[in-house]
A and B are shown apart, each in its own frame.
Chain A
Amino acid sequence: MSFPRPTDLSRLKSCKIVTQFLIATLIYGSTLMSDTNFDSPLVIAGKSYTSRLLVGTGKYKDNAETRLALEASGAEIITIAIRRTNIGQNPGEPNLLDALPLDKYTLLPNTAGCYNVEDAVRTCKLARELLDGHKLVKLEVLGDEKTLFPDTIETLKAAQILVDDGFDVMVYTNDDPLIAKELENIGCVAVMPLAAPIGSGLGIRNPYNILTIVENANVPILVDAGVGTASDSAIAMELGCDGILMNTAIAAAKHPIMMASAMKKAIEGGREAYLAGRMPRKRFASASSPIEGTFF
């Protein structure tokens, strides 16, 4: 008895997939092609992105790990923070931005750590100066140190000021559909509700609110904060979210680079499942094999 060698097996398998695909293409024509192969890109402020995973660059062991995790994630947009330059203390300290191939990424300066309108607006203006007129920013105005929940009142005010000043604002908010819609009306280019508190890894705590926000929206909705593992990301994407921004879920994993890859796949899988449309839920079983023709 001889077993096919692995190479034969993979050839057989790929032959089978190709045949199935060709048959399916003949039957379903262009519908199938467009569903599986040509998902429309994620468009933020007029720029198209293939990846729906956006990642933060904080909390990694070192710059090399950050670089490899970003690579494994496939992310095209990465967040950065604006902070005081070290004066004297550690002059030779390696800066993350020197360690990354920056031309590969769209940088997303964020206002993390800001608790009021003034600090958030000031941070965005400094980022614009630092990055030579760069307009895309992530606005977050926090309200409370324990939960890091957004201060939505200050967030709305800051969003208005930044939009009026010509910024393209991606805004972090809570999972309140009314506030999300208001931020869209102000002119934010993307609205980013939390799934759970920042850095908590609790997953999607309020899927129905996220769903309502997605259904109401005319701008991209990205879950920002709270995912802990791959399944959380898949759930968010299956709800119809346009993307996910995360940092801790990758950086605080035991193997960050592997988790970055897992998140990439979960987001792609969740997105395809959303586009494919899941089967209806039924309370009782429904056999997959025909009852007719049984010989027992």
Chain B
Amino acid sequence: MIIILNGEDKQVDSRTNIEQLLNIIGLSDKKLAVEVNEHIVPRSEFSETTLKDSDKVEIVQAIGGGSD
């Protein structure tokens, strides 16, 4: 199936969960937050949250930034 990961199409096996997805893209040990279809998925629910075809997944992190 295809999910939309941070705005780009990504082919993954059907029934992939978020924990597996983070492993696949090498981010499992990073400090980040995950949204699926604009709903935040708590870290404790990564392994039980299974993705569906066309799900929009956003993975964000903190970076340097100001305002001014």
Q: Residues of A with Cβ closer than 8 Å to B?
A: 55-60, 63, 66, 79-85, 87-88, 91, 95-97, 107, 109-110, 112, 122, 125-127, 129-131, 138, 140, 172, 194, 198-199, 224-226, 245-249, 251
Contact = CB atoms under 8 A, between A and B. Distances in A.
30 contacts: A56-B64, A57-B66, A58-B65, A79-B65, A79-B67, A80-B65, A83-B61, A84-B7, A84-B59, A85-B6, A85-B30, A85-B59, A85-B60, A87-B5, A87-B25, A96-B64, A107-B62, A109-B62, A110-B67, A112-B67, A125-B40, A127-B33, A129-B33, A129-B40, A129-B42, A198-B68, A199-B68, A224-B68, A247-B66, A249-B68
Nearest to B35: A126
A87 B66 contact: no
Contacts of B40: 125-126, 129
Nearest to A126: B33
Contacts, number: 123
A225 to B, nearest CB: 4
B18 to A, nearest CB: 13
A199 B68 CA distance: 6
A76 B30 CA distance: 24
Contacts of A66: 64
Given A129-B42, A130-B31, A80 B64 contact: yes
Interface residues of B, number: 28
Contact of B65 (A87, A91, A112, A130): A112
Nearest to A249: B68
A73 to B, nearest CB: 12
A129 B38 CA distance: 13
A246 B6 contact: no
B48 interface: no
A56 B64 CA distance: 7
Given A125-B40, A129-B40, A130-B61, A198 B32 contact: no
Interface string B49-63: 000000000111111
B57 to A, nearest CB: 10
Q: Majority SS of interface residues in chain A?
A: mixed
A274 to B, nearest CB: 22
A58 B66 CA distance: 5
Which among B25, B60, B65, B68 has the highest number of chain A CB atoms within 10 Å?
B68
A96 B63 CA distance: 6
Identify the interface centre among A130, A138, A198, A251: most chain B CB within 10 Å of its CB: A130
B27 interface: yes
Given A126-B35, A130-B31, A85 B67 contact: no
Nearest to B67: A112
Contacts of B5: 87
Report the 5 A-B pairs with minimum CB-CB distance, sorted nearest first.
A56-B66, A81-B65, A247-B66, A225-B68, A57-B64
A56 B62 contact: no
B26 A91 contact: yes
